[in-house]
Amino acid sequence: MQKKLYTIGYSGFKIDNFINTLKEHNINIVIDVRSVPYSQYNVDYNKEYLEKILQYNNIYYRNYATEFGARQENKIYYPNGYLDFELFAKSKQFQTGIQKLEKTMQKNYKFILMCSEKDPIRCHRTILVSRAFYNLGYQVIHLLTDKKELTQADIEESLLNKYFPDRFQINMFSENLSNEEYINLAYKEQNKLIGYSIMEEL
């Protein structure tokens, strides 16, 4: 059986609907990938309250800001002024997060990566974190409002169509890339668009 994980952006979900969606998919652990686990506009998703209501519904809460957060303190991961997802994905802390969740899954827990952004293609949970699991052979399902779903394969197709809409046209003047090479470049471009930026100290 193929390993499976889910992701969700809570924007657009009222808390009761959010909980029901988790239950419908038998989720028993929420992995919060926000660097700052608080919301000014959706206070139901502030860490302490969210953890409490999840616990009431027999769902565990874990914050993985260190392992998977979009805002990392170490400036080594910002070579171009924004968080380089590929570079950070090779870090010890990121890989430790992957390994911890893989061990958790082996104990028959079903987890979901949670952030605030409603559209998965615009969130680091998809372009950074779930990509890593997808490359390890996991089936990745992004849960949307109105019971809609997208897979990581759907995301990759959208990225390709966004950045390389003419990739199937034969071009005699440039090197033809493989589909995998196009996908890697598309992820890089999306990383530039959504990666957290820092201002260098003067």
HEC string of 176-192 equals CCCHHHHHHHHHHHHHH
Average pLDDT over residues 125-142: 97
pLDDT bucket at 17, cuts 50 / 70 / 90: very high
* C-alpha dist (Å) from residue 103 to 2, 17, 64, 152, 172: 15, 29, 15, 22, 49
Q: What residues does each domain of the chain span?
A: 4-194
When pLDDT is averaged across residues 110-138 and rounded to a whole number, the result is 97
157: tokens are 């197709």
* Cβ count within 10 A of residue 15: 16
What does the pLDDT look like over 104-117, one tens digit per residue? Answer: 988 989 999 999 99
> In this structure, which topology does domain 4-194 adopt according to CATH?
Protein-Tyrosine Phosphatase; Chain A (3.90.190)
Q: Model confidence over 22-79: pLDDT tens digits?
A: 999 999 999 999 999 999 889 999 999 999 999 999 999 999 999 999 999 999 999 9
What pLDDT sits at residue 166? 83
Q: What is the pTM of this model?
A: 0.93
Q: Scanning the structure block, which residue is given the tokens 């070579």?
A: 79
